[in-house]
Amino acid sequence: MTAAITGLGIALPPATGQDEIWDGYFSAHYAGPRNGLARRIFTNSGVRTRHAAVSPLIEDVSEWSTERRMRRYQAEVMPLGKAAVGRALADAGIAAGDLGLFAVCSCTGYATPGLDILLARDMGMSPSVQRLFVGHMGCYAALPGLGAVSDFVTARGRPALLLCAELTSLHLQPPGARADIQQIVSHALFSDAAAAVVVTDTASGYAVREVAAITDTSTADHMTWDVTDQGFRMGLSPRVPAVLATHVRGLVDQVLGRHGRSIADVDGWAVHPGGPKILDVVQEQLELPGTALAASRSVLAAHGNCSSPTVLLVLDELRRRPSPPRSVVMLAFGPGLTLYVTLLEGSSL
C-alpha cells in the first residue's frame, strides 16, 4: 500500500510589496539609530512581496495583547483554511466526507474548538473523522505532519488531509528596546499563508517514500518561538546556517541511500526558504547547480517565509512546471534545531 499526495491547495491573504511595507510602516517602526540597519535587512531579505491577513499598513497590532491576537487569529484563519482545504479536495477529486484523518499544523494561533474541529464541521467531514493538531513545531511542521497522514493512509487505507495555516502577521512585536536584530530579521521575512495536501492510497501522484529527521539539541537556543503577553516572539540566531551546514548533507545522503538514490538522481528540490543564507548553505552543502533551488528562491521572493506552509508552496511551484520533477526531496528546518527530509517519487499531480 502506497500513500501519495494527490491533491494540493493554496490560499493567500492580500499581497503587499516589501518596499511598500517598509516605507509605509517599518521605516517608522524602526525609527532611530537602527533604521539604516533595518532598511538593509529588509532590502537583502530576498522578499519582494508578502501576504498579511492583518496588514500593518491598515492595522497596527504590535501593542495588542496575546488574547486579542488569538481571537483575531480564529476569525482570519478560518476562511483561509477553508479555501486551501477546498482546493486540495477538488484537486484530488474526493469529497470531504471521504476523509479518515484531518491533520492541522499551526504555530501562530490556538483556540478550542480549533481549526480541526471547526473546519471539519464547515467542510462536511464525517463526524467520525479522526483529527490531529500539530502545534508550535514551526517552519518544518509540514513534513512531520505529512509523515503522520501518510502513515495513517498506509495503515488504514483511507484518505487523509493535512492543512498548514500560519498568520505570522499577528505577531508583530513592539519597537524600542525589544527591537533587536533578530526581530528585524523575522519582521523582514515572515508572511501568511495556508496550504493543504490530500494523501490517498493510489499509484498516481507523488508517493511519500520516507520522512526522516535529525535534531541537534545542543543548539536549541538558536531558534525560539516564545509566548509573551504581546504575542509570540521569534528568536533567530545568525548561527543557524552553520548548524544546517553541519547536518544537511549527511541526512540527505542517508535518506537517498536507503532508496538506492543519490543527489544526482533528484530532479526536484523543495527546500524551505528560511532566508537567502539558508538556501545558499543548502545549495553549497549538497553541491547543487545554480538552478536547483529556483523554486524555493521564487517562493521566498513572491511570498516570503510563511512558516509551515512554505515548503508546500515550493512543491506546488515545482508541480506546475511544464515538465514537473519525478523525484523530489523536501527539506525544512526549525526549532530544535531540527532538520526534516522527505522523499517523494512518482508521477506529478
pLDDT digits (tens, 9 = 90+) for 123-146: 999 999 999 999 999 999 999 999
- Res 247: pLDDT: 96
pLDDT greater than 70 at residue 154: yes
Sequence-distant (6+) residues with CB within 8 A of 226 are 232, 233, 235
* Residue matched to cell numbers 528560511: 274
Element (H, E) at 49: strand 49-51
Examine the fold and report which residue of 186, 201, 216 is the final residue of a domain before the chain moves on.
201
Q: Are 196 and 213 in a shared domain?
A: no
Separation of alpha carbons 231 and 307, rounded Å: 16
Res. 176 pLDDT band, cuts 50 70 90:
low
What's phi and psi for 237, nearest 5 deg? Answer: -75, 145
Separation of alpha carbons 162 and 165, rounded Å: 10
If you average pLDDT over every residue of the chain, what do you get? 95
More confident of the two residues 4 and 175: 4
Separation of alpha carbons 269 and 263, rounded Å: 10
Q: What is the pLDDT of residues 242-286, one digit of tens each?
A: 999 999 999 999 999 999 999 999 999 999 999 999 999 999 999
The SS3 call for residue 94 is: coil
Q: Are 144 and 214 in a shared domain?
A: no
Give strand ranges (E) for 202-307: 206-215, 223-228, 231-236, 268-271
Q: Are 341 and 211 in a shared domain?
A: yes
Q: Are 20 and 122 in a shared domain?
A: yes
- Res 179: pLDDT: 53
Peptide bond into 89 cis (omega under 30): no
Give the Cβ contact number of residue 87 at 10 Å.
Answer: 18
Peptide bond into 113 cis (omega under 30): yes
pTM, two decimal places: 0.96
Among 169, 204, 175, 173, smallest CA distance to 72 is for: 169
Separation of alpha carbons 344 and 74, rounded Å: 33
Q: What cell was used for 77?
A: 484563519
- Res 1: pLDDT: 72
- Res 162: pLDDT: 98
- Res 180: pLDDT: 83
Res. 346 pLDDT band, cuts 50 70 90:
confident
- Res 347: pLDDT: 63
pLDDT greater than 60 at residue 45: yes
Q: Which residues pair with 341 in a beta bridge?
A: 212, 331
Examine the fold and report which residue of 185, 201, 217 is the final residue of a domain before the chain moves on.
201
Q: Are 117 and 80 in a shared domain?
A: yes
Number of independent structural domains in the chain: 2
Q: Residue 177 burial by CB count (10 A; 0-12/13-18/19+): exposed, middle or buried?
A: exposed
pLDDT greater than 60 at residue 348: no
* Residue matched to cell numbers 532611530: 32
* CATH number of the domain to which 218 belongs: 3.40.47.10
Catalytically annotated residues: 139
- Res 211: pLDDT: 98
> What's the rounded mean pLDDT across residues 200-217?
95
Q: Are 79 and 180 in a shared domain?
A: yes
> What's the rounded mean pLDDT across residues 213-235?
95
Q: What is the pLDDT of residues 54-76, one digit of tens each?
A: 999 999 999 999 999 999 999 99
Separation of alpha carbons 25 and 158, rounded Å: 48
Contact 9, 86 (CB under 8 A): yes
- Res 177: pLDDT: 45
Q: Which residues pair with 68 in a beta bridge?
A: none
Q: Are 105 and 252 in a shared domain?
A: no
Q: Are 33 and 123 in a shared domain?
A: yes
First-to-last C-alpha distance (Å) of the chain: 18
Q: Are 254 and 315 in a shared domain?
A: yes
Q: Are 270 and 216 in a shared domain?
A: yes
Q: Are 8 and 129 in a shared domain?
A: yes
Domain containing residue 239: 206-346
More confident of the two residues 176 and 82: 82
Q: Are 194 and 237 in a shared domain?
A: no
Q: What is the pLDDT of residues 292-319, one digit of tens each?
A: 999 999 999 999 999 999 999 999 999 9
Instruction: Please state, for a pLDDT cut of 90, what percent of the chain lies above it.
Output: 93
Separation of alpha carbons 15 and 37, rounded Å: 24
Separation of alpha carbons 253 and 237, rounded Å: 26
Examine the fold and report which residue of 152, 171, 201 is the final residue of a domain before the chain moves on.
201
Separation of alpha carbons 306 and 220, rounded Å: 21
